[in-house]
Amino acid sequence: MPLLADFLALTLAGQEPVAKEARTPSGARVRWLAEGVVEVMPVAAEDAGLDLVLSAGVHGCEVVPIRLLDQLIQRLERGDIRPRARLLLLLCNPPAMRRGVRRVGQDLNRLFCGAHAGQTGWEADRAALLERAAAEFYRTPGRARWHYDLHSAMRPSRLPQFAVCPWVPDRSVSPQSLWRLGEAAVDAVLVQERPSATFSAHTATRHGAEAFTLEVAEAPDGTWPACLDRLLDAAQGWIEATAVPAGLAGIRPQAYRLAREIVKRSERFVLHVPDDIENFTPLPPGMLLAEDGPHCWVAEGPHDHILFPLADVAVGERAALIVEPRPW
């Protein structure tokens, strides 16, 4: 079986390739490092000095990002993409992907930045393995480091594609990053203002990577939104290390900040927003959002919008975010 072309099929089947190394038509070297972990090394003379991590499948039910990453892999296999960046391609949560569920045990995207330490279970072990893979990949100093962790919010959104920028002390989002996101049809960026334990937060804080959790578009009728083609073409440009124009004339996404979190405190928790409410829906002041015993959450500010509402989470996890626009 071709190593790169069958990367997804092998991972879903729980199999390893017979040959652990291969070459793309452009001469790039491909290495299978572990289940769901493949490295692509460009020809030395064409190496642009960029280390790029592309990951998907942290939540196994998020099929669109997995398909999108597989389409990029197929372009690499056919020779349609000639990589000038070193690539680490990650299918992060194979057991959840095989079952088509968000998670089998713990939420993998809450176990990074060392949060897996002292924990048991497959997800904790997997978070540790992915952290080691990133550390080994980013081992060479002096190279640019990027990471795009592909997700889908699993619900319609007023802003079809958006990114989450992890908090890093004393760092702002660069104009070059915003241009790249705009070219990828990203409509908004939620700029976090405190630490988190997501995969993109790990690579940003531990390795200094320009890292984003990228929530890709999905259509309720199962069609392929046109903005995904723009994202695919932009990602091809990342892999080919296409230079950012000096003028930075692309459309800049809208910035948002986190105003409040709705956290499930007990099994009495009730989320009162409609099941089909869209991400980034504006909330009228005074609207009851959730209750948990004596605790309740209501919309407060005139610019409150809801993001990631999900009642079926573990006690202690967030069930929704309330965000508001902010200037860059």
**Where along the chain do its domains lie?**
7-239, 259-325
Q: What sign does the dihedral 237-92-277-327 (CA atoms) show?
A: negative
Q: Is 59 annotated as a binding residue?
A: yes
CA 251, 79, 49 angle in degrees (round to 5)? 60
Q: What is the band of 249 on the pLDDT scale with cuts at 50, 70, 90? A: low
Tens of pLDDT, residues 74-117: 999 999 999 999 999 999 999 999 999 999 999 999 999 999 99
Q: Which is it for strands 254-263 and 188-191: parallel, antiparallel or unpaired?
A: parallel
CB 298 within 8 A of CB 243: no
Superfamily of domain 7-239: Zn peptidases (3.40.630.10)
**146-163 average pLDDT score:** 94
Tell me the two tokens of residue 122. 């497959």
- In the chain, the DSSP E strands lie at 21-23, 29-34, 37-41, 50-56, 86-91, 144-151, 162-165, 188-191, 210-215, 254-263, 270-271, 281-282, 288-292, 295-298, 305-307, 318-325
What the block records as the tokens of 183 is 């070219």
**Residue 70: what pLDDT?**
97
Annotated catalytic sites, by residue?
215
pLDDT of 146 higher than 70: yes
Give the pLDDT confidence of 264-312 residue by residue, as tens digits: 999 999 999 999 999 999 999 999 999 999 999 999 989 999 999 999 8
Asked if residue 230 has pLDDT above 90, the reply is yes
pLDDT above 80 for 222: no
Q: Is 62 annotated to bind ligand?
A: yes
Which own/partner pairs from 5-14 qualify as long-range (CB within 8 Å, at least 24 positions apart)? 5/73, 5/74, 5/77, 7/38, 7/70, 7/73, 7/89, 7/91, 8/66, 8/70, 8/73, 8/91, 11/35, 11/36, 11/91, 11/94, 11/97, 12/94, 12/97, 12/98, 14/94, 14/98
Q: What is the pLDDT of residue 31?
A: 97
Confidence of residue 194 (pLDDT cuts 50, 70, 90): very high
Q: Which CATH architecture does the domain made up of 259-325 adopt? A: Beta Barrel (2.40)
Q: Which residue has the higher pLDDT, 1 or 244?
A: 244
Taking only the tens place, the pLDDT of each residue in 160-178 is: 999 999 999 988 999 999 9
How many residues would you count in the chain?
A: 328
What is the model's pLDDT at position 250? 65
pLDDT score of 3: 85
Q: Which token pair is 35?
A: 């289940």
Q: 141: Cβ–Cβ under 8 A, 6 or more apart, which residues?
A: none
Identify whether the C-beta of residue 28 lies closer than 8 Å to the C-beta of residue 62.
no
> What average pLDDT does the segment 114-124 reach?
93
Q: How many CB atoms lie within 10 A of CB 34?
A: 13
Determine if residue 77 is labeled as part of a ligand binding site.
no
Pair 65, 152: CB distance under 8 Å: yes
- Yes or no: say if 91 and 56 are a contact pair by the CB < 8 Å rule: yes
Mean pLDDT confidence for 27-34: 97
170 sits in the region (left: phi over 0; alpha: psi -120 to 50; else beta) called: left
Q: What is the pLDDT of residue 219?
A: 73
Residues of the chain with pLDDT > 90, as a percent, come to 87
Q: What's the confidence (pLDDT) of residue 30?
A: 97
42-83 pLDDT, tens digit per residue, is 999 999 999 999 999 999 999 999 999 999 999 999 999 999
Mean pLDDT of 185-210: 96
In this prediction the pTM is: 0.95
Percent of the chain with pLDDT over 70: 97
Q: Give the H or E element holding residue 12.
A: helix 7-13
